[in-house]
Structure 1
Amino acid sequence: MTDYLLTTTTALVREAGARLLRDYSPASRITTSDELFATLRRNDATVAELLRPELLASVHGSGWETDEHATGPMPAGDHWVVDPVGGNLNHVHGMTDWNIGATLVRDGRPELVVLYAPLSDEMFTARAGGGAFCNGERITVSGKTDLAVALTGTGQARPSHSPATARGAGASIAAMMQTALYVRSSVPVGHQLAQVACGRMDVHWQLENVRSHIGPVLLVREAGGEVTDFDGKPWEITSTGYVAAAPGVHSAALEVLRSALR
């Protein structure tokens, strides 16, 4: 059943990517708020209208998470969490970092994930307990052990932050800039987590743990990464934030971030 679901989901997400590519142009320039939000909604609808009926039909009785920016526990049973266009703002402004993510959450735990970056044609997939893959090839996290040579990053989890979260994000970035080789602050978050999973980046952290991160976190875990909350406890869907990293630099990164957030 899971093999069938993964194959089906991968094909659907690839088709959604092809549809978004038809509306993508590196020359796109948005000038008004009306145009911006209309285009964002159109992109989301393009993906959701394709994926929603097909994914719900593929798992009998499954539900659909309507807010990919929600936090906290999820109900029992099977639920699809879809990030229609991760990095939607990038897409509509002609930038390259955007993707489509679909995750099946079963009884509060991610079961499978498909994350597709159409412009690079990279299809990231993972199943719980089954490893992580990019275009069918198994991927693993970085083998680095020195945070001083680590590529790290964070990003804006959702459109707005509370003042306290914004201050914490700034403090954590400043602290990591003084310790790691490189710090990237960008969206989509799923893109950075995929880079950690395949060993291109070494650390990603978030002060918020929103629905759209659930699948990409599974990618990192299945690729051999360590994902904990800021107390060092294993990541859960109810965690308020997390650090996802290669095992050799996770502890050092966690200590830097905890010190910055005290």
Structure 2
Amino acid sequence: MAFSANLNVMIKTVRRAARGLVKDFGEVENLQVSAKGPGDFVSRADREAERMIREALTEARPTYGFLGEESGEVPGEDPTRRWIVDPLDGTTNFLHGMPHWAISVALEHKGQIVAGVIYDPSKDELFHAEKGEGAWMNQSRMRVSGRTRITECVFATGLPSAGRGDLPQRLRDLGRVLPTSAGVRSLGAPSLDLAYLAAGRCDGFWDRGAKPWQLAAGMVLVREAGGFVEPLDPAGDILADGGILCANEPVFSEFAALIRRD
């Protein structure tokens, strides 16, 4: 497949970062871990992966800005472009030896996500998309599912851990979706939830208070696979407030009405 220069840089970078993470994942019990907060941990592997990714992307595109989970916002000489990076989405899974985590890199141009790469090294699944060019998993074109009845649909979401105050809202959401659907999954890596939606493995996704680096790459994947992506609050901004609703076209309106209902 022929990729743009930017997408080639992104793919090369995530594959390189994955080598170090895979090595550390094999020795997970020896990782040096420091607590960032209740239920939220950062590992040496996480920090090292972001450092490597930032250096590689900056070398390739020295004028672009950078937004990363660990290093925060780094403005670039070009104010219209920035990388948005999660070096290890699913850190808690990683630290518990669960093979469900990913590296996520997105490119934003003038406030729009124009390219995204999500790599799951444990399964060697590379999800990638560019605006107007479709969405792909390795060499296969992806499309969202074609299910038309919400009772047949499986949805994905995040669930709060200790220290978060939005449990009542989350339980309310579950109380609305579970009785009307085929089930809800919470797998611990929002970027992969979005990739799976783009691949038709689940039918919808919602979250509250997610981080921009967890969502950015997946947003372009879902859109390029034919799915709908909107802020959870119609007046909101996904990357600013972390509220998101996604689904295939046939069920989106019904699904959105369930979550948004007062």
Task: Tell me, yes or no, whether TM beats 0.5.
Answer: yes
User: Which amino acid in the other structure matches residue 94 of structure 1?
Assistant: G
Higher alpha-carbon deviation: 249-258 or 58-67 = 58-67
Q: What is aligned with 1:42?
A: 44
Taking structure 1 as the reference length, the TM-score comes to 0.86
User: Which amino acid in the other structure matches residue 172 of structure 1?
Assistant: D
Q: What is aligned with 1:79?
A: 82
Q: What is aligned with 2:66?
A: 64
For the pair 1:201 / 2:213, whether they are aligned, the reply is no
For the pair 1:139 / 2:142, whether they are aligned, the reply is yes
Contact 2:118 2:126 in 1 (8 A): yes
User: Which amino acid in the other structure matches residue 86 of structure 1?
Assistant: D
User: Structure 1 pair 240/51, CA: closer, same or farther in 2 (3 Å)?
Assistant: closer
1-structure distance, mates of 2:198, 2:70: 21
Q: What is aligned with 2:216?
A: 214
In structure 2, list runs of 5 or more residues that go unmatched: none
Q: What is aligned with 1:249?
A: 251
Higher alpha-carbon deviation: 100-109 or 165-174 = 165-174
Out of 155, 158, 179, the position equivalent to 1:155 is 158
Out of 205, 222, 225, the position equivalent to 1:223 is 225
In structure 1, list runs of 5 or more residues that go unmatched: none
Q: What is aligned with 2:183?
A: 182
More strand by share: 2
User: Which amino acid in the other structure matches residue 146 of structure 1?
Assistant: R
Contact 1:80 1:103 in 2 (8 A): yes
Structure 1 residue 244 displacement after superposition:
0.6
Query: 1:80-119 counterparts in 2 under 5 A?
Result: 80-119=83-122
2-structure distance, mates of 1:83, 1:159: 22
How many residues in Structure 1 have an aligned counterpart in Structure 2?
251
User: Structure 1 pair 16/140, CA: closer, same or farther in 2 (3 Å)?
Assistant: same
1-structure distance, mates of 2:44, 2:210: 26
Higher alpha-carbon deviation: 177-186 or 112-121 = 177-186
Contact 2:135 2:221 in 1 (8 A): yes
Structure 1 residue 68 displacement after superposition:
7.1
RMSD: 2.9
Taking structure 2 as the reference length, the TM-score comes to 0.86
Contact 2:153 2:181 in 1 (8 A): yes
Q: Quick one: percent identity of the two aligned structures?
A: 27
Contact 1:225 1:245 in 2 (8 A): yes
2-structure distance, mates of 1:159, 1:94: 20
User: Structure 1 pair 69/214, CA: closer, same or farther in 2 (3 Å)?
Assistant: farther
Structure 1 residue 28 displacement after superposition:
4.4
Q: What is aligned with 2:12?
A: 11
User: Structure 1 pair 113/166, CA: closer, same or farther in 2 (3 Å)?
Assistant: same
2-structure distance, mates of 1:16, 1:112: 18
SS at match of 1:178: helix
Contact 1:30 1:92 in 2 (8 A): no
Higher relative contact order (CA 8 A, sep 6+): 1
